[in-house]
Amino acid sequence: DIVMTQSPDSLAVSLGERATINCKSSQSVLYSSNNKNYLAWYQQKPGQPPKLLLYWASTRESGVPDRFSGSGSGTDFTLTISSLQAEDVAVYYCQQYYSTPYSFGQGTKLEIK
């Protein structure tokens, strides 16, 4: 099974500043036949279901603000929020959909400093 590990567990960033969340998989999630990384990012606010932000590691879901971006390949990935807004306070999860059981990172709680 692929284990997903996020860092840090929690993060406090000032409004307007950059927030960076890392995600590491225990084995590569890059599928060589199509050169795609099977990695998604979700945002979850209290009392709500998760919301898809990015998939294929860097493709932004429709309607997601462009301050959210994803990068990385193979086993190491990053979610970046370029200029933190108050509404970005949430828990963020990475997920691999390369092989079953599809697995999530433990989550990173993002707060305002």
Partner 1 sequence: QVQLVQSGAEVKKPGASVKVSCKASGYIFTRYGISWVRQAPGQGLEWMGWISGYNGNTMYAQKFQGRVTMTTDTSTSTVYMELRTLRSDDKAVYYCARHLGGPIPAAILEIWGQGTMVTVSS
107 contacts partner 1 (rule: CB under 8 A): yes
Angle at 66 between CA 60 and CA 69, to 5 degrees: 60
Out of 38, 68, 77, 92, name the contact with partner 1 by CB under 8 A.
Answer: 38
In the complex, minimum distance from the CB of residue 61 to partner 1, in angstroms, rounded to a whole number:
7
* Closer residue to partner 1, CB minimum distance, 16 or 63: 63
Q: Tell me whether the omega of the peptide bond preceding residue 101 falls within 30 degrees of 0, making it cis.
A: yes
10-13 vs 108-112, strand pairing mode = parallel
Query: Could you tell me the two tokens for 54?
Result: 């990015």
Q: How many residues bind partner 1 (CB under 8 A)?
A: 23
In the complex, minimum distance from the CB of residue 108 to partner 1, in angstroms, rounded to a whole number:
10
* Closer residue to partner 1, CB minimum distance, 10 or 83: 10
Q: Which of residues 77-106 bind partner 1 (CB under 8 A)?
A: 93, 95, 97, 100-106
